[in-house]
Structure 1
Amino acid sequence: MFKKAERKRSYVKIALCGVSGSGKTYSALLMAQGLGEKIAMIDTENGSGELYSDLYDYDVAQIVPPFTTTNYINAIKEAEKAGYDVLIIDSLSHVWNGAGGLLEQQEQLARTKYKGNSWAAWKDITPMHDKLVQTILQSKMHVIVTMRSKQDYIQTEDKKIKKVGMAPVQREGLEYEFTIMFDIDREKHEATASKDRTRLFDNTVGAITPETGEAIRQWIDGGAEMSEPDPVVVPVAEPAAKSIEYVKFEDNKCFVQGNHGWQNVEELSVEALKVILSKPQFEKAHSCAQACLDAIEVATGAIE
């Protein structure tokens, strides 16, 4: 059953996050130069990915609305089939909240299929999202995705709203799936590694260059062993005082209070729903969380 552990080469999955104008596309191309020789880009930004064609040789495939998971998955598989070393997905945010993306599909399904029940509509959307994520993670290429950032807020114990930094425009928890996640500053275009399983970067990286990609490739070629993926769970607040409110209902939706503010139970991952079910402070949300788990199980079984 057990065997001696050995170092294996792997394909890294990297996320670059930042607001518009922070230089995500340019940084992705610079990093890709150091990672591999044959580079492809999935462009969802109206051809902006080709503006840097003088920088390096790379191929481009455009995705136009509707930004469905199927269109992304087909493009990823085509890139893998063509034998590219590095694939840049610019941007992954469109599949979440772009025209025809998952949020728009969820709203449409709620209206047309589930009689306005947005909660029930997630049982169709979650398997689509999970399939795209697994396609990225299992692809035999290095993958660099760009994601737009937005200001994130939380509600403190005294009911005040507090800024807590930037968050990617994507489904909650997706950032845990990547090998490295860089946040790029708009003013100086410098990056910080908010997550780094390679342990190559000490938080602040500076401007991303081809040397950044080369350092990652050397780590890969050295056979460095990947650590086990972090569990994708919603950061939940432990009970500190009986006065704290952990569950609320608004517009026929159930929300839970975590370290990143109020989160819609319908939008949480399977792992996060299980965490909710294990915490007594979320008892009022247990029935909602269990219903979501049941719906996801049914939908996933139907797809398979």
Structure 2
Amino acid sequence: MNQLPPPVRRAQTRQDQPAAGTAAGFRPATKDGRKARVSLQGVSGSGKTWTGLSIAWGLAEGNRFGVIDTENGASSLYVGERGIQFDTLQMDRYDPRLLIEALESAAKAGYPVIAVDSLSHFWKGTDGTLDQVEKAASRFGGNSFAGWKEGTPLQNDMVEAILTYPGHVVATMRSQTEWVLQENARGRREPVMVGMRAEQRKGIEYEFDIAVEMNIENRLRVLKSRCPALHQQVLERPDGVRDLAKPILDWLRSNPAQ
């Protein structure tokens, strides 16, 4: 397994000398060394765990990757499927600082890809950000402003650790759900479960390079993509390796002539 350097919480930059003719402090833009950040959100049963694992396997290109599992070992049910091999770290407390520590350990172990299944627990699970805010607020007489003053930096540090991990990161998130009445093929109205926004801080999906949502029929819709090949794609029963990991790797490795 290739060893990766430990994460450093700062923006990815290059230290090359400026090319001739560029202004002081500016350098030629390049994707060299960039790693993908992919989020998948969906309702229970939409296939986000399997799809996330297959994307991670494709990005790992045959190397074992790591999975930070908050779903009672659900990811392990897929080990060996289509040759996928990975190591897991089981978690039952979801303090954002614990995720930071897990990412640091994964970097030291040299995992080229880390999958987090799921990131939602670190928002609303036991000791997650919302728990931290409530505990802090209770120390100040229920003052929610004081609670968020402590909780927000924890959340921000966690996101920064994800963004600066020295390998690829694939994170799943649960979606808030509701039932709506829709007309079926027989013309009858029936309740249908639909996904809402991710169960995480509002807008967190836009911290990622590629953000997708999946519905109960295993249809994937790209919400946001910096990878042009995936822009506004809708995929039925997607193959994570072929349909997502490959175009992502092709994009990251393509650099126009300087």
Summarize the alignment of residues 189-228 of structure 1 with structure 2, pairs less than 5 Å apart: 189-201=218-230, 202-209=232-239, 210-211=241-242, 212-223=244-255
TM-score (norm 1): 0.66
Cα pair 2:133 2:151 within 8 Å, conserved:
yes
For residues 136-179 of structure 1, give each alpha carbon's deviation from its aligned partner in whole angstroms, at most 9, with x where no partner exists: 00111100000001148xxxxxxxxxxx9620001112122100
Structure 1 residue runs of 5 or longer lacking an equivalent are: 153-163, 225-304
For residues 181-223 of structure 1, give each alpha carbon's deviation from its aligned partner in whole angstroms, at most 9, with x where no partner exists: 0101112x12110000111123313323110212211211224
Taking only aligned residues, the RMSD between alpha carbons, in angstroms, comes to: 1.7
TM-score (norm 2): 0.77
Structure 2 residue runs of 5 or longer lacking an equivalent are: 1-23, 179-193
Distance apart, 1:8 and its partner CA: 2.4
Residues paired across the two proteins, number: 210
Q: For 1:40, which of 60, 63, 66 is the aligned residue?
A: 66
Evaluate the alpha carbon distance shift between residue 117 and residue 7 of structure 1 in structure 2; reply closer, same or farther with a 3 A threshold: closer
Q: Does 1:110 align with 2:110?
A: no
Q: Does 1:78 align with 2:108?
A: no
Paired with 1:174 and 1:165, the residues of 2 have a C-alpha distance of: 16
SS of residue matched to 1:95: helix
Distance apart, 1:74 and its partner CA: 0.8
For residues 23-54 of structure 1, give each alpha carbon's deviation from its aligned partner in whole angstroms, at most 9, with x where no partner exists: 11100111112111231100001111111112
Summarize the alignment of residues 1-304 of structure 1 with structure 2, pairs less than 5 Å apart: 1=24, 2-36=26-60, 37-55=63-81, 56-65=84-93, 67-111=94-138, 113-151=139-177, 166-187=196-217, 189-201=218-230, 202-209=232-239, 210-211=241-242, 212-223=244-255
Identical positions, percent:
37
Distance apart, 1:6 and its partner CA: 3.7
Evaluate the alpha carbon distance shift between residue 116 and residue 10 of structure 1 in structure 2; reply closer, same or farther with a 3 A threshold: same
Cα pair 1:31 1:208 within 8 Å, conserved:
no
Higher relative contact order (CA 8 A, sep 6+): 2
Distance apart, 1:7 and its partner CA: 4.3
Paired with 1:178 and 1:7, the residues of 2 have a C-alpha distance of: 15
For residues 242-261 of structure 1, give each alpha carbon's deviation from its aligned partner in whole angstroms, at most 9, with x where no partner exists: xxxxxxxxxxxxxxxxxxxx
Amino acid at match of 1:43: D
